[in-house]
Amino acid sequence: MIVKEGLEDVIACRSSISRVEIEDGKAILEYRGYNIHDLAKHSCYEEVAYLLLFGELPTKSELEAFKEELKDLRELPPQIIGLLTHLPPFTHPMVVLRTAVSYLGSMDKYIHYRSYEHSIEKAKSLIAKFPTIVAYYHRIRTGQNLVHPNDELDHAENFLYMLYGEEPSELEARCLDLDFILHADHELNASTFAARVAASTLADMYACIVAATGTLMGPLHGGAAQKVIEMFREIAVPWRAEEYVKEKLKRKERLMGFGHRVYKNVMDPRTIELKALAKMLAEQKDSKWFEIAEAVEQAAYKYKKLLPNVDFYSACIYATLGIPDDLFIPIFAIGRIAGWTAHIIEQYENNRLLRPRALYVGPKNRKYIPIEERG
């Protein structure tokens, strides 16, 4: 038995959702066969969510209908709003998100129905409601009135509208829409794998999403985004970045927002898109975060040949958009919910229980000693 620590390079299942590969020293990321750079350039989050769920790009009428379905599903039931009101205001928004998902499941009388049709309905409801849960909780914890969904606005712009109470600029909406596209799926990352493990036991979709949401929060995964902005705040000015990075690496500490299990020594294709976006936004909004980020990136490469991952420049974008630090991970989840639900449905459709083995390294064949004789 060969132990593959962290299941590194272990192929755990077949999937037709995302292709993540290194070809000729370049990283390729495709959703259902479409290159992420094409989707970043031409698509919108609703279209990408449709693609991930149904496997094909929608026609114009299919996309319009899908957008309308999501709009009709955005509003939260009063019980969920009550939950958001009663959670302590210091509750981390990711804890709020997973709690709200669990409560939504308890209200779904078809919670245990796993047919394709039922699963698609649950997926659409969760994709539509994730932004509302996050925005509503933020309004409640900051003592502001709820800003209800605006059906005139698309997914990303409506999220910013519900969060801030005013319509975002075209650039702000486009930035967040692109961020959602780039976070929508990424093969068997830890949170998606957690969702598929739960789905492989035939647990309900809400249980699978609670597993995924809890997993994403870890700082080695989606939680890194919040750690990145905290690092930028500590550095404060670009000229302090190099010394900060050098000292951190000397202490054998991890640089949040750098490194990747799959993209070893190749740039994450999403980083290319996010860095360009962060630079453009910084120029428009005169934000200091991009300069600090670039200085950190240069130092990380200089001292350890580390490359930035998806969390690095997205943290720069969120900070420049004025989004509170602890909403960075929930925003990752708002993008990723489409991929999670697509993987859960794929697992249900062609399931085999996911149950790896462990190489036992503890003591064996020990004789039981009655407690009186244990000294």
Please tell me the distance from the alpha carbon of residue 273 to that of residue 268, in angstroms, as a whole number: 9
Binding mask 194-233 for ligand SDX (x = CB under 6 A): --------------------------xxx-x---------
Q: Which residues pair with 258 in a beta bridge?
A: 308
Q: Which of 176, 184, 256, 338 binds ligand SDX (CB under 6 A)?
A: 256
Element at 176 (helix H, strand E): helix 170-183
Closer residue to ligand SDX in complex, CB, 31/161: 31
**Hey, which residues between 307 and 336 contact ligand SDX (CB under 6 A)?**
309-311
Active site residues: 260, 311
Q: Tell me the two tokens of residue 137.
A: 């909780």
Q: Tell me the two tokens of residue 60.
A: 């114009």
**Hey, which residues between 23 and 82 contact ligand SDX (CB under 6 A)?**
none
Residue 163 touches ligand SDX, criterion: CB under 6 A: no
**Does the CA dihedral 325-330-331-333 come out positive or negative?**
positive
- The nearest distance, CB 308 to ligand SDX, in angstroms, is 9
Neighbours of 13 (CB within 10 A): 15
Residues shown for the chain: 375
Residue 6 touches ligand SDX, criterion: CB under 6 A: yes
Q: Which of 255, 282, 292, 345 binds ligand SDX (CB under 6 A)?
A: 255
Closer residue to ligand SDX in complex, CB, 161/328: 328
Whether the CB-CB separation of 313 and 292 falls below 8 Å is answered with no
Residue 257 touches ligand SDX, criterion: CB under 6 A: yes
Closer residue to ligand SDX in complex, CB, 222/238: 222
Closer residue to ligand SDX in complex, CB, 131/308: 308
Nearest to 285 by CA among 169, 164, 138: 169
Q: Which of 15, 99, 189, 200 binds ligand SDX (CB under 6 A)?
A: 189
Please tell me the distance from the alpha carbon of residue 300 to that of residue 307, in angstroms, as a whole number: 7
Whether the CB-CB separation of 205 and 344 falls below 8 Å is answered with yes
Residues of this chain that bind ligand SDX (CB under 6 A): 6, 186, 189, 220-222, 224, 254-261, 304, 306, 309-311
